[in-house]
Amino acid sequence: MFHRHIFCLAVLLVTSVSAFSQNLKIGYANLELVLAYMPETKAMNETLKTFEKQLTEKLKIKERYMEAKFAEYSAAVETNPNDPQRAAMESELTKLQSEVQAFGGKAQEDLVIKRQELLQPIINKVDNALSAIQKEQGYDYILNTVDGNGVSIVLKGPDEHDLTKALMTKLGIQLPSGQ
């Protein structure tokens, strides 16, 4: 009797899983390729380059100022090793070095934040287009073919479920010939 219940439960489980999987429609798209051809991504990259150059220039100005102060300190110590201002100059150099390092770290953080701010509208646009395709074509899931490091997630799949071209068309992007 017990084995009969287990057998019935197993049959029920197998039939419900296979019935569920038969109704599931899964598509995939290469979002990395789509993003690479979006004009918004190219504009974002140009904006980031400009922003990075501005930060780098500010950092170089701070570094040059610190180097000038170090040259003054070296000259003062060389001419008068017992200069009474030596301790104050060393303290100022230490403070300047800390400020330069802090600015460099903050500049990196600002660059990451700026990238996220610029990328979010692009991601929203792609997400809206994917949602429209999902609704229009009846997909339950749409997967990205690669992760953020370029590693393939979807290794094989039916070509009719590759939504990369449909997504690019929905976004108004011309796919170069040969792609």
In the chain, what are the domain boundaries? 26-170
Report which of 144, 120, 132, 116 is spatially closest to residue 32, judged by C-alpha positions: 144
174 band by pLDDT with thresholds 50, 70 and 90: confident
21 band by pLDDT with thresholds 50, 70 and 90: low
* CA 162 – CA 41 distance, rounded (Å): 22
Q: What is the pLDDT of residue 13?
A: 41
Per-residue pLDDT, averaged over 79-90, amounts to 86
pTM of the model: 0.73
Q: What is the pLDDT of residue 22?
A: 67
